[in-house]
Chains A and B, each alone.
Chain A
Amino acid sequence: TQLLEQSPQFLSIQEGENLTVYCNSSSVFSSLQWYRQEPGEGPVLLVTVVTGGEVKKLKRLTFQFGDARKDSSLHITAAQPGDTGLYLCAGGNTGNQFYFGTGTSLTVIP
């Protein structure tokens, strides 16, 4: 099993604040995905990064894949209550396997 550790596990912030979530592993992945999951639903894809050092922006969300392709970060600027949810990173390997991280539960307080 290829483990991905996310930090922090829980995060509660005020609306308008910035935050960063980290996803770390000792394994190298050929791709890294971020998903968001809301209660009672399945995870929904936010972004896929495939190149070491790659940075992608999705409105107020910025995703980065580490140079060595072992880690990733998700930065949210000016968080909104609608950003509340469970954020999951997932590392992909050449066998089309996806290994999910331990999850970060984000609560944005209005």
Chain B
Amino acid sequence: GAGVSQSPSNKVTEKGKDVELRCDPISGHTALYWYRQSLGQGLEFLIYFQGNSAPDKSGLPSDRFSAERTGGSVSTLTIQRTQQEDSAVYLCASSKARTLNTGELFFGEGSRLTVL
């Protein structure tokens, strides 16, 4: 597809289980971002990948959260030992901008995570 693709679109899990969320960015986009959004609220920055550079993990809320990006394309966000407060929509975005911060972010539709 031409846009950012995220899967699953919905995930319901039990407290304490691990979950993996996948993001397939637009082909050729070197920058990839993960954000978290609570219902009707703003976006909380989680992690940023740019090409082959070390990712900026400064937004990850705890060591239960991790992300990787393989081959400079697909990214996986992993949440271990999920807690109820992890329930949110996880949004992925990609951008072709290499320098300067004026590039447009293209977002996927998000993965809605519910932790029971």
Q: Which residues of A contact B (CB under 8 A)?
A: 1, 4, 6, 30-31, 33, 35, 40-45, 48, 50, 86, 88, 90, 92-103, 105
Which interface class (under 10, 10 to 19, 20 to 34, 35 or more) fits B?
20 to 34
**Residues of chain A contacted by B35 (CB below 8 angstroms):** 100
- Is B25 part of the binding interface, using a Cβ–Cβ cutoff of 8 Å? no
Known: A1-B59, A96-B31, A100-B43. A42 touches B97 (CB 8 A): no
**Residues of chain A contacted by B59 (CB below 8 angstroms):** 1
Tell me which of B42, B100, B107 contacts A103 (CB under 8 A): B42
* A43-B31 Cα distance, complex, nearest whole Å: 17
Docked-complex contact B40 and A42, CB < 8 angstroms: no
Which 7 pairs from chain A and chain B are nearest by CB?
A42-B107, A92-B101, A100-B43, A103-B42, A102-B42, A45-B104, A100-B42
Docked-complex contact A102 and B31, CB < 8 angstroms: no
**Residues of chain B contacted by A31 (CB below 8 angstroms):** 100-102
